Amino acid sequence: MRVALFITCVNDTLFPGTGKAVVSLLRRLGCDVDFPAAQTCCGQMHVNTGYRDEGVRLARHFTEVFAGYDAIVAPSGSCAAMVREQYPKLVQPGSRGAAAVAEVAPKVYDLSEFLLDVLKIDDVGAYFPHRVTYHPTCHSLRSLHLGERPTRLLRNVRGLELIPLGGADECCGFGGTFAVKNPAVSAAMCADKVRNVLDTGAEVLCAADNSCLMHIGGTMKRQRTGVRIMHLAEILAATEER
């Protein structure tokens, strides 16, 4: 199986550790991972902010870069949802690039989907002896319908104590440019999310999207809460002999 890593522009630029973790994890599970170097960005920011033309250009670029792979794995529920759920509407049937979208989009998986649905693995042999709470993130929850997949993986991590997060399904207030366009509401939403995280007493806040984690983590850091943020891939990549 030819597996491509779709790193996403945010992870590429700001969270390379997550990408390294995905590579390490998938290699450990026997996958040969390729990183198509021409990849850039899925175009979500442009489309969701109202710049559809730029978004369509990026979508076409994406489908050209990732054509021919059996599976495309992204450590981001939001970017995976953008490609899989939004591309078919963005690049209208019959228009240029629509055929490539129809071919590529269904092969894009969030990491936890790939592990559970494609590799059929729910115990990745990870070890992480910490108290962790999990924020499911909106697009993972309501666009990709990841459901229990990420927490199933976390429950099988040795040493890990998973603490349920109150109001887990509520948005953290990131929303891409929403955080800048409506900063007051965004901050108010994040304040409630942070309060819920702190109520768990967890050491680590985990999610499958670094954008949301960057938002919640940035607020928690400003407030000196001492709670770390970690992408799901980084916890799953951690082993006893690290």
Partner 1 sequence: MSGTFLGMPGGFPANAAVAVQDSQLRYNLRKATHTIRGKRVKAVEELPDWMELRAAGKAIKDHTLRHLDRYLLQMEEAVTRAGGTVHWARDAAEANRIVTDLVKATGEREVVKVKSMATQEIGLNEHLAAEGITAYETDLAELIVQLGEDFPSHFLVPAIHRNRSEIREIFLGKMAEWGRPAPPDLTDDPPALADAARLHLRERFLASKVAVSGGNFMIAETGTLVVLESEGNGRMCLTLPETLISVVGIEKLLPTWRDLEVFLQLLPRSSTAERMNPYTSTWTGSAEGQDFHLVLLDNGRTGVLADEVGRQALRCIRCSACLNVCPVYERTGGHAYGSVYPGPIGAILTPLLRGFDTELDASLPYASSLCGACFDACPVAIDIPEVLVDLRAKVPHGRVERAGMKVAGWVLNNEVRLAKAQRLATRFRKLVPKRLPGPLSAWTDTRDLPDIPEESFRDWWERTRRSERSGRPRNEGGRGVSEER
Which of these ranges, 94-102, 155-163, 199-207, 226-234, lies near partner 1 under the rule CB under 8 A?
226-234
Residues 94-133 close enough to bind partner 1 by CB under 8 A = none
Helix residue spans in 66-147 (DSSP H) = 77-81, 87-90, 98-104, 111-113, 138
When binding is defined by CB under 8 A, the residue of 93, 188, 199, 240 that contacts partner 1 is 188
Q: Which residue in 113, 108, 106, 110 sits closest to 149, CA to CA?
A: 113
The reply on whether position 169 binds partner 1 by CB under 8 A is yes
237, 173 in Cβ contact below 8 A?
Answer: no
Q: Which two tokens stand for residue 204?
A: 């680590």
- 183 contacts partner 1 (rule: CB under 8 A): yes
Q: How many angstroms separate the CA atoms of 230 and 207, rounded?
A: 7
Burial degree of 57 (CB within 10 A; 0-12, 13-18, 19+): middle
Of 106, 185, 195, 201, the one binding partner 1 (CB under 8 A) is 185
Question: Residue 38 or 94: which CB sits closer to partner 1?
Answer: 38
Query: Rounded to whole angstroms, how far apart are CA atoms 37 and 7?
Result: 10
- Under the binding rule (CB under 8 A), the answer on residue 174 touching partner 1 is yes
Q: How many CA atoms lie within 13 A of 99 on its CB side?
A: 2
Q: Which stretch binds partner 1 (CB under 8 A): 18-26, 102-110, 149-157, 199-207?
A: 18-26
How many residues bind partner 1 (CB under 8 A)? The answer is 75
Which x/- pattern, by CB under 8 A, does the window 204-223 give for partner 1? ----------xx-xxx-xx-
Distance in Å, CB of 83 to partner 1, minimum: 15
| Backbone angles phi and psi of 144, in degrees to 5 | -90, -20
Closest distance between partner 1 and the C-beta of residue 203, in Å? Answer: 14
Find the binder of partner 1 among 88, 176, 198, 203 (CB under 8 A).
Answer: 176
Site residues (CB under 8 A) for partner 1, limited to 38-57: 38-41, 43, 45-52, 54, 57
122 close to 156: Cβ distance less than 8 angstroms:
yes
Of 58 and 202, the one with the shorter C-beta distance to partner 1 is 58
Type of residue at 141: L
Which range, of 19-27, 101-109, 114-122, 199-207, touches partner 1 by CB under 8 A? Answer: 19-27
